[in-house]
Chains A and B, each alone.
Chain A
Amino acid sequence: MTQSNALISIFILYILTTASITAQTKFEKEYRIHEKDAPTKALNFVSDSFIDSKIKWYQEESHEGKTIEAKTLFNKVRHSIEFDTLGNLIDVERTIKFSDLASLLQEKISTSLKKEFSNFKISKTQIQWKASSRQTLISLINNQYTNEVYTQNYEIVLKGKKNKTYANYEVLLDQEGVIVKVLEILPRNTDNLEF
């Protein structure tokens, strides 16, 4: 590799890594769909995972494309399962209190967030599971032990201060509490609630 090629490679790598954690804006449009319009594979996964739970189905359009989402309250805890339009699993998210995370993880996440924001207040925390095996995810949903490989991330919604300005953000962190992605949630117009 010549010196100029090496410099270009370093520059591209720098752009890719810095761009990946620079706050982008979150675009998401979601609307309710009927159960019969959900893909069969998604219906099968949900019926195998959440026995006797009421499921609400949504179609979501975001900067990452169209997805199908099932939301349910299972064992009194909110879960959402995201599928592609063919019904292939993307991830499972479970809402959890930030204070219920392991103390060491709470510290790691807080340290990462303090580097990103001068001040912040967490409003929602979700554990996110990804696995190639559906059975692994079913085990995780049902709090059963699994020795299969899976990825555990954390999705946090917070009000954060950056450059002296407060805004709402969605932050994705890996299992070590390292920030993977920051999305700014654009505020909706609130004139009809204020005036």
Chain B
Amino acid sequence: MRILISLIVLIVISQGTWAQSSFSSGLLPKIRVSIKLGDHLKWVNGIESRQLIIDNTKENSIDYEYVLTDFSTLLSHKIGSNLSLNGGYLLRIEENDISHRTIQQFNIIHAVQSLRLGHRFVTDQTFNNSTSPKFRLRYRITMEKALSGQKIDPGELYLKIGNEYLGSLQSNESDLEIRVIPFVGYEIDNKNKIEMGVDYRVGNFINATSENDLWLSFNWYYSLDWRK
């Protein structure tokens, strides 16, 4: 918990030190429902919404604004006890603009003593009518640790910290975005988990004026078995 609070304080303090940067902040709730279809196959659906509250590039820097909603659907195929290949589609609705994204993922999950580590490699391609196609290459490492005992059991709190690197290419322009994602989670039971924390993103990293986003995130993961 102390690590999480320290990270949040560090991120908030850092905003004041980057005068040349843009800064926005808001809410980012997310729901993921995974349905087990077979021993090696599951279907994962998600909905994620962004709501802006702070934007220092606007005259009224503090104002509520609904930004967008993402609907995603992925098929996940387990290819080993700790490896999976996933592929799917995301629909983004942003005012009157609609984007389509195709997604390919490769995941590795492994344990190191009492830690669980997840490595996620993603390529995605985003298309819409108003901008050129965008191609991204992403890598995320996530660490998860029980706050009581050596492994996470139902009814227990846990700490989850993620770090993601996103390279993108659009109209011959490349960019790098870095994300730091500290969360506190609670495993309600074997099917339900809730998490709360911040999703801090530094974009436009290669250029002089970086973009800083700090989202207050709430995640709910629900899993069920189609066969039962």
Contact = CB atoms under 8 A, between A and B. Distances in A.
Interface of A: 29-32, 58, 71, 159, 165-168, 187-195
B190 A159 contact: no
Nearest to A71: B150
Interface of A is mostly: strand
Contacts of B221: 189, 191-192
Interface stretch (B6-14, B80-88, B123-131): B80-88
12 contacts: A30-B151, A71-B150, A189-B190, A192-B144, A192-B160, A192-B195, A193-B107, A193-B118, A193-B120, A194-B86, A194-B105, A194-B120
Contact of B80 (A166, A191, A192): A166
Contact of B81 (A159, A189, A194, A195): A159
Interface of B is mostly: strand
A194 B185 CA distance: 15
Contacts of A30: 149-151, 153
B164 interface: no
Given A194-B86, A194-B105, A165 B39 contact: yes
Contacts of B21: none
Interface string B33-56: 010000100001010000000000
Contacts of B219: 192
A164 to B, nearest CB: 10
A187 B34 contact: no
B124 to A, nearest CB: 13
Nearest to B151: A30
B199 to A, nearest CB: 13
B74 interface: yes
A31 B148 contact: yes
A193 B144 contact: yes
A71 B113 CA distance: 13
The 10 residue pairs across chains A and B that have the minimum distance between CB atoms: A193-B118, A166-B81, A30-B149, A29-B153, A31-B149, A194-B107, A32-B148, A191-B221, A190-B109, A31-B148
Contacts of A187: 81
B106 to A, nearest CB: 10
Interface in B80-105: 80-82, 84, 86, 105
Contacts of A192: 32, 144, 160, 185, 193, 195, 219, 221
Nearest to B152: A188
Nearest to A56: B150
B22 interface: no
B116 interface: yes
Most buried by B among A165, A167, A191, A193: A193
Nearest to B190: A189
Nearest to A157: B111
Contacts of B15: none
A159 B107 CA distance: 17
A37 to B, nearest CB: 13
B70 interface: no
Contact of A191 (B44, B81, B151): B44
Most buried by B among A30, A58, A190, A194: A194
B168 interface: no
Contact of A58 (B34, B149, B154): B149
B204 interface: no
A194 B223 contact: no
B47 to A, nearest CB: 12
Contacts of B82: 159
Contacts of B153: 29-31
B1 to A, nearest CB: 14
Contacts of A195: 32, 34, 44, 46, 74, 86
B156 interface: yes
